[in-house]
Structure 1
Amino acid sequence: MTHSAGLFLALGASLIAIASTTIVQDCGSKTTVNGVKVSGCELPPCLLKRGEDIVVEIDFENLQETTESLTAKVHGNIGGVDIPWFGVDENACNDLTVGDCPVEGNEKIYYSAHVPILSSYPAVAVIVKWQLLTQNNEDAACFLVPAQIV
């Protein structure tokens, strides 16, 4: 078992597991997250192949007040250091396939983002933290998933 997989299993408190989606750990979502899918990965650690793109999808229902915007904030934690993940559109409203901004209360939202895994990335274990932040900088959706860049 890799260190990241062991850490993930140890954290195990609030796991989200939906059929044909990826098992991830919720990290403070203020909405009802129905599922998260990282292309090609159901059970972490997810293998992220350098030079290829992945698709990250988040299915959630906004139970909060209306938010004018959604901002995507993605980091990779390598050895305890958070490193910004490049290539993700910060304006998450651009990646909504169901719903739109402003996101109203009780609105169903489906977010789908293409993410490049750059060839220049090192082959390393990483914990990916993905946040969709409201205009008030609160986590509409937040998850952690162990991955291995190969």
Structure 2
Amino acid sequence: MRCYIVYYFKIFLIVCAIHELTCGVISTATNEVYKKLLQLRSLPFEDCGSMFQVMYLKIDGCTTIPCTMKRGDLVDVRVLFDDNGSGVSFLKHEVRWVFNYVKTQAAISPDPCDGNQECIESTGDGKTYLAKVYVNTTLPVMRGRMLWEAKDANSNNLICFEVPVSITL
């Protein structure tokens, strides 16, 4: 009788182990597929040395590359990124317009990490932030790039991406 109990207990443990392994694999595979779908829906961008994976980028009014931006506009930029569970709670943005290798500082209104404002929202998919960038009225009417860097409190570059832009009147 004791042999049968040990035998059934071993079978039970094997079934539990298989269940745990397959659920973990399925969960991981589902998460990876979801990240790939987000990236497919994202506005195309070039990563320039991000520590964390940028999964999704949306710039209001921009559906194709280069993004057409009108001088004097305030444009919403939404980014979803995976901080690998590190609990990022601070981001300082440095945004520049780059035209023919000349970099001009872009104004962010408001910078989400100034004062007591919530900098980053946690979502089930990662972390997200929304910022508004001002398209300076002094920018040249031409094609260039928007270079976006988000740094932590120690000035580590957590997120960095570039998007081709076309400035219009």
Larger Rg: 2
Would the aligned equivalents of 2:43 and 2:63 in 1 still touch at CA under 8 Å? yes
Q: Choose between structure 1 and 2: higher helix proportion.
A: 2
Task: Give the number of the structure whose residues are more often strand, by fraction.
Answer: 1
Provide structure 2 residue ranges, at least 5 long, that are not aligned to the other structure. 1-37
Conservation of the 8 A alpha-carbon contact between 2:106 and 2:133: no
Q: Deviations over 1:94-125 (max 9, x none)?
A: 464623xxxxxxx9211111222233332122
Q: Number of paired residues?
A: 129
Taking structure 2 as the reference length, what is the TM-score of the superposition? Answer: 0.65
Residues 52-131 of structure 1 aligned to structure 2 (within 5 Å): 52-63=73-84, 65-67=86-88, 69-92=90-113, 94=117, 96=119, 98-99=121-122, 108-131=126-149
- The higher-RCO structure (CA 8 Å, 6+ apart) is 1
Closer, same or farther: CA 130–51 of 1 in aligned 2, 3 Å: same
The one-letter code matched in structure 2 to 1:18 is L
Corresponding residue for residue 148 of structure 1: 166
Residue 88 of structure 1 deviates from its aligned partner by 4.4
| TM-score, scaled to structure 1 | 0.72
Residue 40 of structure 2 aligns with which residue? 18
Conserved 8 A contact 1:30-1:63:
no
